[in-house]
Structure 1
Amino acid sequence: MTPTDPFPRVFIGFDPREDVAVNVLTDSMQRHASAPVQIAQIRLSQLRSVYTRPHNPLQSTEFSFSRFLVPWLCGYEGWALFIDADMLCLGDLAELWALRDDRYAVQVVKHQHDCESGTKFQGMPQTPYRRKNWSSVMLFNCGRCKALTPQVVNTASGLELHQFQWLEDGEIGELPPQWNVLVGVQDVPEDARILHYTLGGPWFDDCQTMPRSELWTQARQALNHPLALQASS
């Protein structure tokens, strides 16, 4: 483990429509962690002086492009993990953190996700493109991602960013598939570490029958531990 990065440093994409999802994901990370986890959120309301990119009608969340500011937010030093809000952590992030490999600028699960144009949760656009969902979990080697300046993040095309055209292919390392399992797209293995409700999660009214929704619902219920009422004497 790199001495300057003893514990996982995590950035979660934030969208106000998925506020509850962010909180459940945060708790699920901490609940399974064997070591301290540093967790922050990428909120556009906190990046107004830096993130000036206009809204694109094809983006389905507020953090579609701001996720690529993570290396800049870290001062291009050390490692950091970006993760979409629509996920549930079932594994110990220390295991994922231990997979950091200095040979690479970024490490991702290299999905072969072929989808058709259409809509997904809340009528948001479903856009097919090469390397789809690779950027939903990214382990950044920040010092090797200096190409991701705020100017580039604000002006590069969506395909340039999400298809990692700012890197050479050999700089993109691979993570085990258990760390980004696409619910409703692929079978969920017994050893899944992160469930990704990419088609929409049960926090949306129109997605409550999504496979493995019960796991997310149980995780949300686990957030609340009301005190038992004391019988009056």
Structure 2
Amino acid sequence: MSQESIRVFVGCDPNNSDLEQMMVLDYSIKKHTSSPVEIVWMQLSRDPESFWYSNPEKGEGWDTKKWATPFSGFRWAIPEYCGFEGRAIYMDADMVVLSDLNELWNHPIEGQGVVAAKTKDAITRLCTCVWDCQKAQNVLKPISQLKADPEGHDKLMKQFKERPELITPYIDSYNCIDGEDLEIKDIKILHYSDMGTQFSHKYSIPRLEKEGAKHWFDGKIMPHPRQELSDLFDAYYQEAIDAGYSLENYRVEPFGVIPKKSHKRYKGNKITRPLKSGLLSKIFKR
């Protein structure tokens, strides 16, 4: 399968919290990918003509109040955005690409499958996935319905978990969650998924404070347990700057207050925050 360019859709914050993530992801994609890449940054917009339009004050456009991030439900809109033609890759912004995206772009999507994604340990992860946009038309709800339903994202996640035939599994390391148990050389796409330990916080939070703004993540910030992965992000950040990339290339007019879930009780994942041993832990299975 081939197209003139690889289409990559990235979910990101509309208030400039994710500039560092966007720059590093953009640079890492182009550093490793041998084909042209077209990136669509999916961000909430106040523009009524935008596909990502939302006006929570008037109850118009995307209803995000049940979302965990400012972009959770956008991944389901990609096939319709593409006119239900060809393929499209979806990614969260918190990724570092360490391989040629051609490999993922051309991954088979077999049988009844409409998307290629990670299904390790019976957990469906659509935070990096490849859509067959034409086949997805028969499965996904029209965007007009999805954007008006604040629980639409959760409903579709449940549907895909209950129908595993819709997903063609790919190599786990295309969505390597916080390093898992892999060495860097074996990771194809690093997803620094724990929102409390993200490498970009040490850049973005001080920057936002100077700008009089706050990050959309309102949970506890803590160090990532694998320093070499943090160092990898730092290296790519500096390489991007040295190559002429700039945070200002990704800045947009801020959207404003985003109705969404709070992360005050966010617990991360078992990779960055291993279960504690001890009697109480065993009793309560934590």
Q: Normalising TM by the smaller chain, what interval?
A: 0.7 to 0.9
Cα distance in 2 for partners of 1:162, 1:142 equals 17
Instruction: Give the Å deviation of 1:226.
Output: 7.9
In the alignment, residue 13 of structure 1 is paired with which amino acid?
G
CA contact (8 A) 1:34 1:94 kept: yes
TM-score, length basis structure 1: 0.78
CA distance in 2 between partners of 1:213 and 1:54 (Å):
31
Change (3 A) 1:6 1:98: farther
Aligned sequence identity (%): 25
Q: Is the 8 A contact 1:72 1:148 kept in 2?
A: no
Contact persistence 2:79–2:131 (CA under 8 A): yes
Q: What is the alpha-carbon distance in structure 1 between the residues aligned to residue 159 and residue 132 of structure 2? A: 14
Are residue 224 (structure 1) and residue 241 (structure 2) matched? yes
Deviation of 1:210 (Å): 4.4
Structure 1, unaligned stretches of length 5 or more? Answer: 113-129, 228-233
Aligned to 2:89: 81
* CA 1:208–1:100: 2 relative to 1, 3 Å: same
What's the secondary structure of 2:107's corresponding residue? coil
Match of 2:98 in 1: 90
1:144 aligns with one of 111, 129, 135: 135
Number of aligned residue pairs: 204
Alpha-carbon distance between aligned partners in 1 of 2:224 and 2:235, rounded to the nearest angstrom: 14
- The question of 1:175 aligning with 2:173 is answered no
8 Å Cα contact 1:106/1:173 also seen in 2: yes
Closer/same/farther in 2, CA of residues 6 and 102 from structure 1, 3 Å limit: farther
Deviations 1:138-191 (A, max 9, x none): 10001111223213422254332223449843221111111000116x212432
Q: Measured at CA, do residues 9 and 203 of structure 1 come closer, stay the same or move farther in structure 2, by a change above 3 Å?
A: same
- Change beyond 3 A, Cα 1:164–1:9: farther
- Does residue 1:48 correspond to 2:53, yes or no? yes
Instruction: Please say which of residues 83-92 and 15-24 is displaced more in the overlay.
Output: 15-24
Secondary structure in structure 2 of the residue aligned to 1:198 = coil
Aligned to 1:9: 7
- Output the amino acid matched with 1:17: S
In the TM superposition, residue 208 of structure 1 has moved relative to its aligned partner by 4.5
State how far apart, in whole Å, the 1-side matches of 2:162 and 2:86 are. Answer: 18
Structure-to-structure mapping, 1:1-233, within 5 angstroms: 1-2=1-2, 5-15=3-13, 16-45=16-45, 46=50, 47-48=52-53, 51-56=61-66, 59-101=67-109, 103=111, 104-112=113-121, 131=123, 134-146=125-137, 147-154=140-147, 155=149, 156-165=151-160, 168-183=163-178, 186-189=180-183, 190-200=185-195, 201-205=198-202, 206-211=221-226, 212-225=229-242
Please report the TM-score for the alignment, with normalisation by the length of structure 2.
0.65
Q: CA RMSD in A?
A: 2.4
Gaps of 5+ in 2: 55-59, 203-220, 245-286
**1:120 is matched with which residue?**
none
Q: Kindly tell me: are residues 22 and 105 of structure 1, through their superposed partners in 2, closer, same or farther at Cα, counting changes over 3 Å?
A: same
Q: Does the aligned pair in 2 maintain the 1:102–1:141 contact within 8 Å?
A: no
Contact 2:108–2:168 under 8 Å retained in 1: no
